[in-house]
């Protein structure tokens, strides 16, 4: 294949899961460079974001959806290297970032054109690779599904995570009050710097009491929860009347016992979603909303990904170790050299 005068090689280095297990099962492998089909583009990857679902997939607990690459990597940045049929917006050489259905941990990735966005103004590739997965997820779950509005209060659990740091910044930029939980003073301090109005160290303080205290007894209008387990019932306690609780993960357990009378009495909505299996049309609609409403904020750095550490692609195992140690604040990224 030829693109932009440059020959696209037939093969590339990618990080494969040699077998389900710990970080060391991630091994560089030679793979065929993907060929973009109709509606798809090929991106020469400069950087790829690392996300918690990658860790789950590596362990064998989160299989890719049908038709998706078996390689890890839900987001990447780079330049357009080849175009499939029916592409009007993108040109070879465009600097972009994209939500990928898998396959980001590689030198090339193919992706549907609707999941591609321009590199935010002034961003490095490493920063841009840290954007898509968290911004698509937070936009849909906090603003579309949770319906967070200016003047309301958002409670974000896991405030120092990639998702949490994004939710704090976006909710605060759009005029909400933000309360967050995190597991250490250092993480709480980082959340406050990002714009959280209150950060609760959940190891030392009960978040339900803290939310009640911070809201004059009213509770949180929207709760973004990635914990589950006993947080389900406690979220019902922390929610305001007509509150919306959005479940995006269940790290402390998928099965919970809770007092559901609170759902009736407070007229709560408990919803949730997963992003990866959604249609390309759905992802394109989120991309369009982000480009219109959030890209200008990224361009002025009113919001920006919090960068934790960057590792070379071939040392993806170190990135996974870092994530599993749980000390990171914000995003871990892989650079393709
Ligand atoms: N549904 C979707 O569409 C979707 C999309 C992307 C990500 N996710 C999920 O969102 C979560 C965050 O993803 P990420 O990539 O941002 O991961 P991450 O940076 O590794 O963050 C994980 C966070 O979970 C918190 N946590 C874990 N167990 C906890 C517990 N028992 N109690 C309280 N907090 C706990 C950690 O907080 P502390 O360190 O403070 O304990 C940490 O901040 C993951 O669970 C991921 O699977 C969902």
Report CA(220)–ligand 1 centroid distance (Å).
Answer: 20
169 lines ligand 1 (CB under 6 A): no
- Residue ID of nearest Cα to ligand 1 atom 25: 158
Query: Which stretches of the chain are assigned E, i.e. beta strand?
Result: 2-3, 6-7, 11-17, 26-32, 40-50, 75-83, 95-99, 108-112, 116-118, 153-156, 177-182, 198-201, 220-225, 239-247, 269-272, 307-312, 331-335
314 lines ligand 1 (CB under 6 A): no
pLDDT at 277: 92
CA distance 186 to 193: 11
CB atoms within 10 A of CB 84: 16
- Residue ID of nearest Cα to ligand 1 atom 31: 252
Stretch 32-37: mean pLDDT, rounded? 97
Average pLDDT in the chain: 97
User: Which positions ≥6 away from 96 have C-beta within 8 Å?
Assistant: 43, 77, 78, 79, 80, 90, 116, 117, 118, 119
Stretch 218-229: mean pLDDT, rounded? 98
5-14, 18-27, 304-313: which range is least confident on average? 5-14
The tens digit of pLDDT for each residue in 267-315 reads 999 999 999 999 999 999 999 999 999 999 999 999 999 999 999 999 9
Mutate to test the pocket of ligand 1, among 23, 144, 226 (most ligand atoms within 8 A of CB): 226
pLDDT at 141: 98
Stretch 255-274: mean pLDDT, rounded? 98
* Token digits of residue 103: 């396959």
pLDDT at 40: 98
DSSP 267-328: T-EEEE--STTS-HHHHHHHHHHHHHHTHHHHHTTSS-PPEEEEEEGGGHHHHHHHHHHT--
pLDDT at 337: 74
The tens digit of pLDDT for each residue in 141-168 reads 999 999 999 999 999 999 999 999 999 9
CA distance 211 to 154: 10
CA distance 293 to 288: 9
CB atoms within 10 A of CB 23: 18
46 has a pLDDT exceeding 70: yes
Stretch 176-180: mean pLDDT, rounded? 98
Nearest ligand 1 atom to alpha carbon 74: 6
224 has a pLDDT exceeding 60: yes
pLDDT at 306: 98
| Percent of the chain surpassing pLDDT 90 | 96
Mutate to test the pocket of ligand 1, among 23, 48, 49, 52 (most ligand atoms within 8 A of CB): 52
At 76, phi and psi to the nearest 5?
-160, 160
pLDDT at 7: 87
Report CA(212)–ligand 1 centroid distance (Å).
Answer: 23
Q: What is this structure's pTM? A: 0.97
1 has a pLDDT exceeding 70: no
């Amino acid at each position: 294949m030829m693109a932009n005068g440059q020959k696209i090689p037939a093969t590339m280095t990618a990080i494969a899961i040699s077998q389900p297990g710990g970080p060391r099962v991630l091994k560089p492998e030679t793979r065929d460079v993907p060929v973009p089909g109709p509606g798809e583009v090929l991106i020469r990857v400069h950087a790829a974001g690392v996300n918690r679902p990658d860790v789950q997939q590596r362990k064998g607990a989160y299989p890719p959806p049908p038709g998706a690459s078996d390689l890890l990597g839900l987001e990447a940045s780079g330049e357009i290297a080849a175009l499939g049929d029916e592409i009007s917006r993108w040109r070879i050489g465009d600097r972009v970032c994209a939500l990928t259905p898998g396959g980001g941990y590689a030198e090339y990735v193919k992706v549907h054109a609707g999941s591609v966005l321009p590199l935010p103004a002034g961003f490095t590739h490493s920063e841009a690779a840290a954007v898509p997965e968290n911004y698509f997820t937070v936009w849909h779950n906090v603003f579309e599904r949770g319906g967070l509005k200016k003047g309301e209060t958002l409670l974000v659990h896991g405030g120092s995570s990639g998702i949490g740091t994004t939710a704090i910044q976006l909710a605060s930029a759009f005029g909400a009050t933000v309360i967050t939980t995190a597991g250490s003073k250092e993480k709480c301090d980082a959340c406050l710097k990002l714009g959280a109005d209150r950060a609760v160290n959940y190891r030392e303080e009960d978040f339900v009491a803290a939310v009640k205290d911070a809201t004059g007894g009213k509770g949180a209008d929207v709760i973004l929860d990635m914990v589950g387990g006993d947080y389900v019932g406690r979220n019902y306690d922390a929610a305001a009347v007509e509150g919306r609780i959005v479940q995006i993960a269940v790290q402390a357990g998928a099965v919970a016992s809770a007092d559901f009378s609170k759902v009736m009495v407070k007229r709560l909505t408990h919803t949730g979603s997963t992003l990866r299996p959604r249609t390309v049309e759905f992802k394109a609609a989120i991309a369009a909303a982000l480009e219109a409403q959030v890209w200008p904020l990224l361009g002025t750095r009113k919001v920006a990904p919090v960068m934790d550490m960057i590792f070379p692609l071939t040392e993806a195992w170190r990135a996974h170790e870092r994530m599993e140690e749980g000390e990171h604040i914000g995003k871990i990224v892989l650079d393709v050299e």
